[in-house]
Structure 1
Amino acid sequence: MRTKLSSTIFLAILACLLWASAFVGIKIGLPYTTPLQFAGIRFFISGLIILPFCSQRRDYFRLILKNWKVVFVITLLQTFVHYSLFYTGISMVPGALGAIVVGSGPVFVAIVAHFSMPDDKMSLKKAGVILLGLTGVVLVSLERGSLSGEGKLILVGIALLILTNINSGFTNIIVAKDKDKVPPLVLSSASMIVGGLMLFLFSIPIEGLHFSAKPFEYYAALAWLSFLSAAAFSIWFTLLKRPGVKVSDLNMWKFIIPVFGAIFAWILLPDEHPDVLSIAGMIITGSSLFLLNYLNRKKIVR
């Protein structure tokens, strides 16, 4: 049991580290294209990357057709709705504020799980650990930029990002409940291929079509983002389907995404530098995850 918990923690951290590196990739690639088109191409390629690794390749389309409702819902929520809301919302709010709202995702997932999963109820200890982790995320995010902004668009942006977090909670619950119907790699591949295509088509009337030669850094960023999405979502869907894994506990590890996103930015981007506030936030977030791990291991001993 302890080995299984350690394996789950390792894979969850790996997936979150991959997602954390997305900030740098998006910042490098986005100046050369439009947000929704960039996301659509990225996820379409991600789905194609996973396809050769599906052991059920011969039954790929049969599995999708047999379970089309689950595949459609995950495609719609996880790829199309999530990233449409995310890119629109993040463009309306200051960077630091957006990072805080997005970083609060595990809080919303825990609330959704509390009301949707009978074995994943919120306790006072868990609530305390989640709030501690969120405090660390806020401190790290404050270092990223200003909270100031103008107009009602900020409120709209915040609302869209909160909807993104709630949507993510429901998506995680759906995948967790669908234990044996659709294999994780098939679900990841199909949802990203179709979802990426939907995003791309949806972007055309809004952003227009932009076909032109681009510099090497754009293609490098697109390649990395496509790979990390393929790997991270495949790992995450596999973990959500594991027996005994609680959705709220698993999503707590997402607190490290803004933390390592900042670290990767410091290393790879010349205009990003650490400060005392962000380092304090990282220590607090790390402490919350240590407490979560301690509480989970204590349950196993009992």
Structure 2
Amino acid sequence: MENKTGKEKLLSKTWAAALLALICSALWGSAFSGVKVGYEKFGIQASAWQDQMVFAGIRFFIAGIMALIAGSIGEKKLLVPHKKSLYKIMIISLFQTVLQYFFYYIGLAHTTGVKAAIIVAANVFTSILISSLIFRLEKLTVKKIIGCIIGFAGIIVINAGGLKGNMSFSISGDGFIFLSTIANGFSSVLMKKYSVGENPVMLSGWQFCIGGLILWLISAVSGGKLGNITVSSVSILLYLAFVSAAAYSLWSILLKYNPVSKIAVFGFMNPVCGVIISGIVLKESDSFGINGLIALILVCTGIYVVNKNKKRK
């Protein structure tokens, strides 16, 4: 019990939560370009949603296996769910993997990376609103709203250049990306709610396995397939699986020991990291200029406002 209490105290500290959340943001930020590269490597077309679901299903099934292996090694025992945990796993999997990525993968193929990054950032709002207004896990305060608005302004700034002349709205693109953010918001709150008395890595790993299998079955029935199986294409698939396994497992642990709003607001760093990493990987030297610096300041300010504690008298 003492170790558990010590772990809970450590992960509840703002600096520790911030460090781990930023690691998650860096991993997820790299996935924006990673998915696009994966489509190119496997020869997946924008209209081939069945092939996109094969890609997603295999990625998340492997991610689940990775998470369960790492978690089992850490706990020194196999992470096998109890019967009472299966319902929780299925519900989390429905929102986190099946619905979120069904809409995300199809949406990303029909919109730009810039617009997707901005819309995805809205999951911070949806997570906090769902936690506060639907599940009543915390209070919706003016401070949280202001912090979210400041952070979201940073996302607009860093992506402003890519939006010029491209303000049209596509249901199959932008609309599906937005639906994926709503699913993500529910999954974050459900993980917070269901991880009480449960191992969050166990929940994370099994929900990925089940969700990945469901996505693969959907694609198999619809005739989906993967082509161009090469070392480079398999490598990007394995990397994206690692991103999901590592980032979501860490995120789940943070949600277990912290309020949803405290952790969710770090999601604003995902697009910022995405722009920086894309600039490095794709050698876009102008990807992080003055706008990027302003955006980073706004995002950090928003995170600070949401997590600032009132001084006790």
TM-score (norm 1): 0.87
- Conserved in 2, the CA contact under 8 Å of 1:105 and 1:165? yes
- Conserved in 1, the CA contact under 8 Å of 2:155 and 2:271? yes
How many residues of Structure 1 are paired with residues of Structure 2 in the alignment?
A: 292
Task: Verify: 1:259 aligned to 2:276, yes or no.
Answer: no
Alpha-carbon shift at residue 240 of structure 1 (Å) = 1.2
Task: Verify: 1:172 aligned to 2:194, yes or no.
Answer: no
2:248 maps to 233
1:182 to 167, 177, 198: 198
Q: Distance in 1 between matches of 2:290 and 2:246?
A: 33
1:22 maps to 31
1:118 to 115, 127, 136: 136
Task: Verify: 1:60 aligned to 2:80, yes or no.
Answer: yes
- The letter of the residue matching 1:76 is L
Q: Distance in 1 between matches of 2:117 and 2:245?
A: 23
- The letter of the residue matching 1:69 is Y
Q: Distance in 1 between matches of 2:195 and 2:56?
A: 28
Q: Distance in 2 between matches of 1:29 and 1:131?
A: 33
Q: Distance in 2 between matches of 1:174 and 1:272?
A: 40
Alpha-carbon shift at residue 145 of structure 1 (Å) = 5.0
2:305 maps to 291
- Conserved in 1, the CA contact under 8 Å of 2:144 and 2:306? yes
- The letter of the residue matching 1:190 is W
Deviations 1:90-148 (A, max 9, x none): 23333332221111210121211221343522211221111010010011122345552
Structure 1's 66 and 149: CA in aligned 2 closer, same or farther, altered over 3 A?
Answer: same
- The letter of the residue matching 1:241 is K
1:92 to 95, 106, 110: 110
Structure 1's 147 and 173: CA in aligned 2 closer, same or farther, altered over 3 A?
Answer: farther
CA RMSD of aligned residues (A): 2.4
Superposition pairs for residues 69-108 of structure 1, below 5 Å?
69-108=87-126
Q: Distance in 2 between matches of 1:69 and 1:56?
A: 25
Q: Distance in 1 between matches of 2:162 and 2:218?
A: 31
Moved over 6 A (4+): none
2:166 maps to 148
Q: Distance in 1 between matches of 2:253 and 2:262?
A: 15
Alpha-carbon shift at residue 169 of structure 1 (Å) = 1.6
Superposition pairs for residues 123-142 of structure 1, below 5 Å?
123-142=141-160
2:127 to 84, 109, 124: 109
After TM superposition, the structure 1 stretch with the greater mean CA deviation from structure 2, 47-56 or 192-201, is 47-56
TM-score (norm 2): 0.84
Q: Distance in 2 between matches of 1:266 and 1:219?
A: 23
- The letter of the residue matching 1:277 is N
- Conserved in 1, the CA contact under 8 Å of 2:68 and 2:79? no
Task: Verify: 1:9 aligned to 2:18, yes or no.
Answer: yes
Task: Verify: 1:196 aligned to 2:212, yes or no.
Answer: yes
- The letter of the residue matching 2:111 is V
Structure 1's 224 and 112: CA in aligned 2 closer, same or farther, altered over 3 A?
Answer: same
Task: Verify: 1:163 aligned to 2:172, yes or no.
Answer: no
- The letter of the residue matching 1:249 is K
1:38 to 55, 59, 69: 55
- Conserved in 2, the CA contact under 8 Å of 1:96 and 1:146? no
Superposition pairs for residues 240-255 of structure 1, below 5 Å?
240-242=255-257, 245-255=258-268
Structure 1's 119 and 47: CA in aligned 2 closer, same or farther, altered over 3 A?
Answer: closer
3-state DSSP of counterpart to 2:170: helix
Q: Distance in 2 between matches of 1:4 and 1:129?
A: 19
3-state DSSP of counterpart to 2:251: helix
Deviations 1:15-71 (A, max 9, x none): 12111111232232221234222211111111111222323744604x2x3321111
Q: Percent identity?
A: 27
After TM superposition, the structure 1 stretch with the greater mean CA deviation from structure 2, 13-22 or 257-266, is 13-22
